Amino acid sequence: MSLRVKALESLLVEKGLVDPAALDALVDTYENKVGPRNGARVVARAWSDPAYKARLLANAPEAIAELGYRPEQGEHMMVLENTPQVHNMVVCTLCSCYPWPVLGLPPVWYKSAPYRSRAVIDPRGVLREFGLELPDEVEVRVWDSTAELRYLVLPERPAGTEGMSEEELADLVSRDAMVGVAKAGVGVAKL
Ligand code: FE
């Protein structure tokens, strides 16, 4: 794959169709500027500041822009709040629509046909495979992303995190928790 990308890139540059500087800027954006750390900071702010959380749930793109994240591919975003009664998970059954400004580019499994079909047919089974077993009384809501509307899950704030700073809280929020296939919590893998 990387060889194919290289070949394609040199051909496009050679023919003058793309500027290598533009490619470098794009790579820098997705390696350093957008990614799940952004989303984790949004979640940590929402956990710490009820007024921010209200703004985030009412108008996600505006509230996310407050933290300085650019809206490309996230112009229309909705934040879904997990509660003890409701667990939200996100899929794009058609392709791989994903909230880039807050999560970066989607992981391979998010784009895979099995996830896209099975998240809808058997969400609890899929969550179990991610290691998340939900009690029967918790309602699972599956949201189908589109290019027009993308979703970010606001996970539940873990118990015992009172008094933590926003930065410490952000470390508890994984990409998977913001797609809704995991919970936020102590011991999550670093992003
Ligand atoms: Fe899509």
Task: Give the tens place of pLDDT for each residue, 64-84.
Answer: 999 998 777 778 999 999 999
Q: What are phi and psi of 60, to 5 degrees?
A: -60, -50
CA distance 141 to 117: 15
Ligand 1 center from residue 161 Cα (angstroms) = 35
Do residues 181 and 89 lie in contact, with contact meaning Cβ atoms separated by under 8 Å?
yes
Position 70 scores a pLDDT of: 79
Ligand 1 center from residue 95 Cα (angstroms) = 4
**DSSP tag of 64:** H
96 is annotated as an active-site residue? yes
Return the residue matching tokens 């703004």.
Answer: 55
Helix (H, G, I), strand (E, B) or coil at 139: strand
Catalytic residue among 2, 10, 48, 97: 97
Position 187 scores a pLDDT of: 54
Highest mean pLDDT out of 6-10, 159-163, 176-180, 182-186? 176-180
97 is annotated as an active-site residue? yes
Ligand 1 center from residue 1 Cα (angstroms) = 22
2 is annotated as an active-site residue? no
Helix (H, G, I), strand (E, B) or coil at 152: strand
pLDDT in tens, 47-63: 999 999 999 999 999 99
Report pTM: 0.86
User: What is the arithmetic mean of pLDDT over 130-139?
Assistant: 95
Catalytic residue among 2, 10, 48, 92: 92
Ligand 1 center from residue 8 Cα (angstroms) = 24
Ligand 1 center from residue 153 Cα (angstroms) = 17
Catalytic residue among 95, 112, 117, 165: 95
Closest CA to 53 of 13, 33, 82: 82
CA distance 73 to 59: 16
Position 186 scores a pLDDT of: 57
First to last CA, the chain: 24
CA distance 94 to 111: 9
Do residues 74 and 101 lie in contact, with contact meaning Cβ atoms separated by under 8 Å?
yes
Highest mean pLDDT out of 27-41, 43-57, 58-72, 98-112? 43-57
Identify the CATH homologous superfamily for domain 34-179.
Nitrile hydratase alpha /Thiocyanate hydrolase gamma (3.90.330.10)
Q: What residue type is 73 in one-letter code?
A: Q
Catalytic residue among 2, 10, 48, 96: 96
Question: Which range among 13-22, 55-64, 112-121, 179-188 shows the weakest confidence by mean pLDDT?
Answer: 179-188
User: What is the arithmetic mean of pLDDT over 140-166?
Assistant: 95
95 is annotated as an active-site residue? yes
pLDDT band at 190 (very low <50, low <70, confident <90, very high): very low
Q: Would you kindly state where each structural domain of the chain is located, as residue ranges?
A: 34-179
CA distance 183 to 162: 17
3-state helix, strand, coil in the chain (%, to 5): 45, 10, 40
Question: What is the average pLDDT value for the chain, to the nearest integer?
Answer: 92
Does the pLDDT of residue 90 top 70, yes or no?
yes
Ligand 1 center from residue 158 Cα (angstroms) = 30
